[in-house]
């Protein structure tokens, strides 16, 4: 099951708090307990020391007092109850005890007895004999000649300690429970407060669709984590908006470009229908219609190319391509066209260089660039082609002495359907797809294309492709 961040935050917060409070409480009570026990041990040790000196004669003979209560009284004050003394013979049989024990006896555990036989003192917490646990010291009395003469036990009730720890534990558990509940409630509230901007963001983001991509997410604090998230989402929406606009523009442009020749075609056909007896006129109409059809199929072909490249991306078929051969082929192709246009077409350099790519597309790239250069260079001008290598790159330059491109138009010439001469008054130019195709081809090959047009000096297109 997936819990909300708020629930998880509160849960972890509560758990951590509980664990740390428990650890703190345990450490605290343990130290307190140790301090108490150490003091009690000191007390019973002094009583035991005293006993050892009282119950033994210099000869090593035992001299048991009738009343241990005097000894107890000396150490524990008037209130001797809860404090006990007991003496065993070396075999572990009780031979004397304080009246405070009444008819009960303190047990001599096997472990304590063994230690006593070895001459060592030990401490035990005895439970079950009295209402409260009793701290019992077991100490052997050893005399030089006789060896073990007796075993003395001094006990004191842990009633006070037990009481203290019981109430302490009670307060402690209640305290922890209360603080955890209060802190968790507070945490739950704080988590909601902290996560509020996130839910606000969700509501806002949900409202944004393709129809209102111009809207942006507003956040109160722009520089915190949420603010930065919102800014990132806003940037993403802006990019989406850009792409959406591009697609819309593209569709509009494409329809427009196809509609123009269709309208012309329709007009011509209607005219032809009306003057169907004039054979010469008819022939003229058919020829002009064919031109429009050519133009339409040219646009459709280019559109298809673009669409295909959008889909293919970098996955187009790739092989080793001699770029110099592609350039030479295209150059040959344009030789006549350049001559007809009275434009001088020259190859300055054609360095053999291979790139890894699609030879048909690369041919298209060179074709479009030379085509433009000749098209946009008036008679008497010059077009220069050069292919060279620069480090890991193949560099193709196509420069012309033509009409150039103004600085305002330069940033847009690679956009689909963008033409400098929109009205096509000069009779030059096509659909405005050639350069956008070039751009797609270069980027599919991991390269870059740029244009420069120093005022009055024509245009230079530079294509950089990674060498194979
Ligand atoms: N060498 C150049 N000199 C001057 N202007 C150019 C040159 N190359 C491109 N342009 C300008 O950039 C525009 C876009 O070029 P692009 O090749 O994309 O389209 P096009 O040549 O008009 O049509 P298409 O290539 O689709 O037949 C052109 O219309 C033209 O105005
Ligand atoms: Mg072109």
User: Which CATH number do you get for residue 370?
Assistant: 3.30.565.10
Residue 321 near residue 355 (C-beta atoms within 8 A): yes
**Count of C-beta atoms within a 10 Å radius of residue 354:** 16
Q: Residue 400's beta-bridge partner residues? A: 383, 459
Confidence bin at 261 (pLDDT 50/70/90): confident
Q: Which ligand has the nearest atom to the CA of 343?
A: 1
**Residue 246: which of 377, 405, 415 has the closest Cα?**
415
For residue 208 and ligand 1, the question of a CB distance below 6 A is answered with no
Whole-number pLDDT of residue 129: 84
Cβ neighbours for 52, distance < 8 A, ≥ 6 positions apart? 139, 141, 152
Establish if 183 belongs to a structural domain.
Answer: no
Residue bearing the CA closest to ligand 1, atom 19: 432
Q: In this prediction, what percent of the chain has a pLDDT beyond 70?
A: 97
- Which of 72-86, 192-206, 253-267, 354-368 shows the lowest per-residue confidence on average (mean pLDDT)? 72-86
Integer Cα distance of 338 and 345 in angstroms: 6
Question: How far does the centroid of ligand 2 lie from the alpha carbon of residue 251, in Å?
Answer: 20
For residue 417 and ligand 1, the question of a CB distance below 6 A is answered with no
Establish if 174 belongs to a structural domain.
Answer: no
Establish if 116 belongs to a structural domain.
Answer: yes
Question: How far does the centroid of ligand 1 lie from the alpha carbon of residue 315, in Å?
Answer: 27
- In this prediction, residues 320-336 reach a mean pLDDT of 95
pTM of this prediction exceeds 0.85: no
Residue 357 near residue 321 (C-beta atoms within 8 A): yes
Whole-number pLDDT of residue 122: 94
Residue 75 near residue 47 (C-beta atoms within 8 A): yes
Establish if 172 belongs to a structural domain.
Answer: no
Whole-number pLDDT of residue 211: 81
Residue 266 sits in the same domain as residue 131: no
| Residue 220 pLDDT greater than 80, yes or no | no
- Which of 8-12, 100-104, 181-185, 315-319 shows the lowest per-residue confidence on average (mean pLDDT)? 315-319
Whole-number pLDDT of residue 208: 84
3-state secondary structure of 162: helix
**Count of C-beta atoms within a 10 Å radius of residue 130:** 17
In this structure, what is the dihedral angle of CA atoms 193, 199, 200, 203, given to the nearest 10 degrees? -160
Confidence bin at 425 (pLDDT 50/70/90): low
Whole-number pLDDT of residue 181: 94
3-state secondary structure of 283: helix
DSSP 358: -
Integer Cα distance of 398 and 383 in angstroms: 7
Q: Residue 157's beta-bridge partner residues? A: 134
More confident residue, 72 or 454: 454
- In this prediction, residues 100-114 reach a mean pLDDT of 90
Integer Cα distance of 283 and 295 in angstroms: 19
Residue 16 sits in the same domain as residue 104: yes
| Residue 334 pLDDT greater than 80, yes or no | yes
Instruction: List residues, by chain if needed, whose CB lies under 5 Å from ion ligand 2.
Output: 372, 434
Residue 61 sits in the same domain as residue 94: yes
Residue 54 sits in the same domain as residue 158: yes
Q: pLDDT tens for residues 362-375?
A: 999 999 999 999 99
Establish if 338 belongs to a structural domain.
Answer: yes
For residue 372 and ligand 1, the question of a CB distance below 6 A is answered with yes
Angle between helices 434-444 and 359-375 (to 10 degrees): 140
Whole-number pLDDT of residue 429: 61
**Residue 246: which of 431, 448, 418, 423 has the closest Cα?**
418
Whole-number pLDDT of residue 413: 94
Whole-number pLDDT of residue 438: 95
Residue 246 sits in the same domain as residue 392: no
The CA-based angle 420-424-428, given to 5 degrees, is: 85
**If you count DSSP H runs as helices and E runs as strands, how many of each does the chain have, helices first?**
9, 12
Whole-number pLDDT of residue 321: 94
Residue 174 near residue 188 (C-beta atoms within 8 A): no
Establish if 22 belongs to a structural domain.
Answer: yes
Residue 237 sits in the same domain as residue 323: no
| Residue 427 pLDDT greater than 60, yes or no | no
| Residue 426 pLDDT greater than 60, yes or no | no
- In this prediction, residues 400-424 reach a mean pLDDT of 88
For residue 376 and ligand 1, the question of a CB distance below 6 A is answered with yes
Residue of 435, 439, 458 to mutate, ligand 1, most atoms within 8 A of C-beta? 435
Establish if 334 belongs to a structural domain.
Answer: yes
| Residue 291 pLDDT greater than 90, yes or no | no
Residue 294 sits in the same domain as residue 321: no
Residue 321 sits in the same domain as residue 458: yes
Cβ neighbours for 56, distance < 8 A, ≥ 6 positions apart? 62, 63, 141, 143, 149
Confidence bin at 74 (pLDDT 50/70/90): confident
The pLDDT mean for the chain works out to 88
The tokens describing 73, both together, are: 């009284």
Residue 339 sits in the same domain as residue 290: no
Q: How far is CA 195 from CA 3, 157, 270, in A?
A: 14, 56, 69
Whole-number pLDDT of residue 136: 94
Instruction: Give the CATH number of the domain where residue 13 resides.
Output: 3.30.450.20
For residue 40 and ligand 1, the question of a CB distance below 6 A is answered with no
Domain end, chosen from 265, 292, 308, is at 308
For residue 402 and ligand 1, the question of a CB distance below 6 A is answered with yes
Instruction: Give the CATH number of the domain where residue 304 resides.
Output: 1.10.287.130
Integer Cα distance of 125 and 133 in angstroms: 6
Residue 123 near residue 41 (C-beta atoms within 8 A): yes
Establish if 393 belongs to a structural domain.
Answer: yes
Domain end, chosen from 258, 292, 308, is at 308
**Residue 405: which of 452, 366, 439 has the closest Cα?**
452
Confidence bin at 78 (pLDDT 50/70/90): low
Report for 72-86, 118-132, 217-231: range of highest mean pLDDT: 118-132
What is the span of the domain harbouring residue 363? 316-466
Q: Which ligand has the nearest atom to the CA of 438?
A: 1
For residue 420 and ligand 1, the question of a CB distance below 6 A is answered with yes
Q: How far is CA 147 from CA 33, 56, 421, 446, in A?
A: 36, 13, 125, 100
| Residue 15 pLDDT greater than 90, yes or no | yes
Q: Residue 96's beta-bridge partner residues? A: 87
Residue 356 sits in the same domain as residue 329: yes
Residue 333 sits in the same domain as residue 274: no
Residue 114 sits in the same domain as residue 261: no
Question: How far does the centroid of ligand 2 lie from the alpha carbon of residue 4, in Å?
Answer: 57
Whole-number pLDDT of residue 54: 80
The number of domains in the chain is: 3
Domain end, chosen from 308, 333, 354, is at 308
């Amino acid at each position: 099951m997936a819990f909300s961040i708020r629930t998880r935050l509160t849960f972890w917060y509560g758990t951590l708090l509980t664990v740390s409070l428990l650890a703190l409480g345990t450490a605290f009570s343990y130290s307190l307990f140790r301090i108490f026990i150490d003091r009690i041990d000191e007390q019973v040790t002094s009583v035991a020391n005293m006993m050892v000196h009282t119950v033994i004669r210099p000869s090593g003979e035992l001299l048991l007092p009738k009343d241990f209560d005097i000894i107890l009284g000396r150490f524990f004050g008037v209130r001797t109850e809860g404090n006990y003394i007991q003496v065993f013979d070396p075999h572990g049989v009780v031979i004397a005890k304080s009246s405070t024990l009444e008819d009960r006896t303190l047990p001599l555990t096997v472990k304590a007895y063994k230690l006593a036989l070895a001459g060592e003192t030990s401490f035990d917490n005895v439970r079950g004999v009295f209402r409260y646990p009793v701290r019992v010291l077991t100490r052997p009395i050893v005399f030089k000649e006789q060896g073990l003469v007796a075993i003395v036990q001094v006990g004191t009730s842990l009633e006070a300690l037990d009481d203290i720890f019981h109430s302490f534990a009670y307060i402690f558990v209640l305290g922890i429970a209360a603080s955890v509940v209060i802190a968790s409630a507070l945490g739950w509230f704080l988590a909601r407060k902290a996560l509020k901007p996130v839910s606000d963001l969700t509501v806002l983001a949900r409202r944004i669709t393709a129809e209102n991509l111009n809207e942006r997410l507003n956040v109160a604090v722009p520089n915190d984590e949420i603010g930065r998230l919102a800014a990132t989402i806003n940037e993403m929406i802006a990019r989406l908006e850009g792409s959406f606009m591009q697609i819309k523009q593209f569709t509009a442009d494409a329809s427009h470009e196809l509609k123009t020749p269709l309208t012309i075609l329709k007009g011509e056909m209607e005219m032809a229908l009306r003057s169907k007896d004039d054979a010469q006129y008819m022939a003229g109409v058919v020829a002009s219609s064919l031109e429009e059809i050519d133009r339409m199929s040219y646009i459709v072909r280019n559109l298809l190319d673009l669409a295909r490249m959008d889909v293919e991306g970098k996955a187009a078929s790739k092989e080793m391509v001699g770029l110099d051969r592609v350039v030479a082929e295209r150059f040959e192709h344009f030789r006549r066209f350049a001559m007809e246009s009275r434009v001088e077409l020259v190859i300055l350099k054609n360095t053999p260089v291979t790139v890894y790519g699609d030879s048909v597309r690369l041919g298209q790239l060179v074709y479009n660039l030379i085509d433009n250069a000749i098209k946009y260079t008036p008679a008497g001008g010059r077009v220069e082609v050069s292919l060279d290598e620069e480090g890991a790159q193949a560099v193709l330059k196509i420069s012309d002495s033509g009409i150039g491109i103004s600085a305002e138009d330069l940033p847009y010439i690679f956009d689909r359907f963008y033409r400098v001469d929109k009205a096509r008054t000069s009779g030059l130019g096509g659909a405005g797809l050639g350069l956008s195709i070039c751009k797609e081809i270069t980027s599919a090959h991991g390269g870059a294309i740029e244009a420069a047009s120093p005022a009055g000096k024509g245009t230079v297109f530079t294509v950089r492709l990674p060498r194979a």
